[in-house]
Amino acid sequence: MITSAGNAKLKLVRALSGRAKDRRAQQLFLAEGVRLVEEALSTDWPFRFVLFADGLSERGRKLLAAIQKRGIDTDEIPPKLFASVSETETSQGILAVLTDEKPLRAKELNFVLIADAVRDPGNLGTLLRSAEAAGVDAAFLAPGTTDAFAPKVVRAGMGAHFRLPIYEVNWDEVGTQIAACGWKVYLADMQGLSCWEMDFVMPLALIIGGEAEGPTQAARRFAAHTVSIPMRGRAESLNAAVAGSVLMFEVARRRPNTR
């Protein structure tokens, strides 16, 4: 059992919960809570180690047994010490340190999400969760977008990180990928044509801009079409996560079922 707050594993967890720079340097990230750790285990994601506290639920104990059966390094820590490194208000008593694997770039990407300066962690995580659910082939994170592997983003993603290829890119790389894959690029914009009337043509990329300022000029220069969501109420706009989710599922509705 780990009992010292100065333990090297606990220091690493604190570093990973903080700055993106530390996560990138270590090529590691955190997944906390029974469901997220279950998702990582079910997809055979590479684990560095797991920390747990006394008082796990029955589901949590079964998960821990499955982790230990696979020979993954586990350590128990006292509940108060676990709470000191937990990112959640009500901890479930289990936390995994995982390898940040960089997925190979697939040659054929027919439906792609491009997050353009999406800075809110909850919005980005929700976008990734919706993208995976809508059958998006990959997510590209353009400059100015928050770190996809920050704890809040991972929690909001609810396991999408383990199933959806995620790439951090610059706009030159986006341009190269557009040319290579032949994407038609659709940009979410309040002044665009109605998504109900838009003829979404595959292969395509959908750009979702940031919450405060909308799409950047860098994103606009790649867009073949701008697309909006008609609203009957008096709300001025939808946030990035909701708008992106609506548009991705509208594309999915028209896309032949390939899953």
pLDDT per residue as tens digits for the range 53-79: 999 999 999 999 999 999 999 999 999
Distance CA 243, CA 125 (A): 14
Tokens of 187: 């940009």
The CATH number of the domain holding residue 30 is 3.30.1330.30
Residue 87 in any domain: the answer is yes
The answer to whether residues 224 and 144 belong to one domain is yes
The answer to whether residues 145 and 236 belong to one domain is yes
pLDDT-derived band at 256, boundaries 50, 70, 90: low
Domain extent, residue 46, equals: 8-99
Q: What percent of the chain has pLDDT over 90?
A: 81
Mapped onto helix, strand or coil, the DSSP state of residue 209 is: strand
Residue 192 in any domain: the answer is yes
Over range 100-109, report the average pLDDT.
Answer: 81
Over range 119-130, report the average pLDDT.
Answer: 97
The answer to whether residues 80 and 175 belong to one domain is no
The answer to whether residues 134 and 74 belong to one domain is no
Over range 7-33, report the average pLDDT.
Answer: 95
Helix/strand/coil percentages in the chain, nearest 5: 40, 20, 40
pLDDT confidence of residue 5 = 87
pLDDT per residue as tens digits for the range 196-214: 999 898 999 999 998 777 8
Neighbouring CB atoms inside 10 A of 155's CB total 19
E strand spans, the chain: 28-32, 47-52, 74-76, 94-99, 111-116, 138-141, 166-168, 184-194, 204-209, 225-228
Q: Is the pLDDT of residue 253 over 80?
A: yes
Q: Is the pLDDT of residue 33 over 90?
A: yes
The CATH number of the domain holding residue 232 is 3.40.1280.10
Over range 69-93, report the average pLDDT.
Answer: 92
pLDDT confidence of residue 257 = 64
Q: Is the pLDDT of residue 250 over 70?
A: yes
pLDDT-derived band at 223, boundaries 50, 70, 90: very high
Lowest model confidence (mean pLDDT) among 135-139, 154-158, 190-194:
190-194
- Which H helix or E strand runs over 153? helix 151-157
